[in-house]
Homo-oligomer: A and B are copies of this chain.
Amino acid sequence: MVRDEEETRGGGGHVKKIGIADTTFARYDMYGSARDELEAIGTGFTIERYTVPGIKDLAIACQRLIKGGCDIVLALGMPGPEPIDKQCADQASRAILDVEIKHDVHILEVFVHEDECSSDKDLALLADRRAREHAVNAYDLLFRREKLQRAAGTGQREGHDDAGSLRR
């Protein structure tokens, strides 16, 4: 993730609302990480949370956060490691995309797959880091889109080391 001086701040009065949807299925408090990171980056926004049982319930949680006035939403989830879990994650992702397009509000899907790491400790660290880095993305989309533009094509990887640009 590129971190940068702040640029376009919401300033000028209108306070934004950031929604965070999370699940009881997840094995890490990704909400805590995202909220902590957002509060460290800046001000000009409030946070609203909606907790559901599993990832398939995230799409409607996002929709309700949007209907409640959120300007952007983070959808936090930790799909299991089995093939059927990948199928469920796929369904959840598509429904989240449907809600995003229907309401024309950005929803950043922040999924950590249980089979991305071999130890619980690494998985917890990944969940924390990915939630934090996507929280920065949410902030950037809301307040300083030019920062994302400058990072275009640079191989950013949320939760892992960045891949970097290709050399020709």
Binding site for B on A (CB under 8 A): 2, 22-32, 49-53, 56-57, 59-60, 63-64, 67, 84, 86-91, 93-95, 97-102, 104-106, 108-109, 113, 120-121, 123-125, 127-128, 134, 137, 141, 145, 148-149, 151-158, 163-168
Given A141-B52, A167-B124, A59–B102 Cβ distance below 8 Å?
A: no
**Assembled-state Cα–Cα distance A125/B66 (Å):** 39
CA distance A127 to B128 in the complex (A): 32
Known: A64-B104, A104-B60, A109-B56. A27 touches B163 (CB 8 A): yes
This chain's copy number in the assembly: 5
Measured in the bound complex, the distance between the Cα atoms of B152 and A49 in whole Å is: 11
A60/B102 in contact, CB under 8 A? no
Instruction: Decide yes or no: A67 and B104 within 8 Å by CB, A22-B153, A153-B31, A166-B124 being known contacts.
Output: yes
**In the complex, what distance in Å separates the CA atom of A140 from the CA atom of B18?**
24
